[in-house]
Structure 1
Amino acid sequence: MSKSKPKNNRATLKGKGKIGLSKTSLSTTENNDKKPPIFSFHQIGRHYCLDLCQTEEKVALIDTIHKLSQSTWQELRNANRHGLGTEKIEHSSITGCAVPNFILVQNIPLLAFRFHGKKPMVGYRENQIFHILWLDRDFTLYDHGS
């Protein structure tokens, strides 16, 4: 008798090639507000990506991610939106590119953190993970009015 090797689970965790929220994220019992955020660049848009950032913006981004990782989601929610806090961004205000369909269909809230001055990184939260969709380094992703 030969032992069967356990299958690599990576492809089935998010559904290979599928984008959107996993089933477990929709029905979690953990309190992720008491945990620090984890950042993902997996779904970043090509017109607002890291490749377009200047060196100083990249350094500021890494520094900001490090600082944000030292706080819990709850602390970040209560912080100033132009400091280490978040700001909600309406789907309809995104004009620089298309909002991914799964965001619209599942009505997933968009959030912005500031990473270089007031330049926002915009994405969405899935449990403890913040998925960065756009780095709005030139303030063209949405109307920054007030």
Structure 2
Amino acid sequence: MINPLSSAPPPPPQGQRTSPALSDEQKTLISDTLENVDADNLSQAQALEIVETFAAAGINPSKELASTLADAGFDARTIGDLANSAPPVPQATSEQVDLSDLVDYLDTLLEKVSGTALSETDKTSVYDGLRERFGLNDGESILNVTA
């Protein structure tokens, strides 16, 4: 009697993982991501964005990814090296940001740029607009800052 498992390929050796084939959606994402990037003038920020985009889509480094990148004129190792040379992200700590603090900060930025500060009426209007736009009640924060 023939064992039905005898025709299956052997499992990968210990420590090695096989990457699933890229889906059509992932291939489209790769193409769309690289569409407006110049492979010859790739910046560290662009490489980091590419790596983050691929990771968010579940695209892991693989021979197929390297081949797909090469077909588009990119070198996978160059992208990885550039992205990995980015400064490390600081450990995240959580801090709530009050909307009024946000409005005051925006006011400071606006004053630096235009030389004109917001009036108290303008600040209140911005504050109320932010609360309404994001469905926040008094005392709720629009942002959760990590630093």
Task: Please give the range of the TM-score, normalised by the shorter of the 2 chains.
Answer: under 0.3
Greater helix share, structure number? 2
Greater strand share, structure number? 1
In our comparison, the structure showing a higher alpha carbon Rg is 2
Per chain length, whose mean CA-contact separation is higher, i.e. which structure has more relative contact order (CA < 8 Å, sep 6+)? Answer: 1
**TM-score (structure 2 length as normaliser):** 0.23
**TM-score (structure 1 length as normaliser):** 0.23
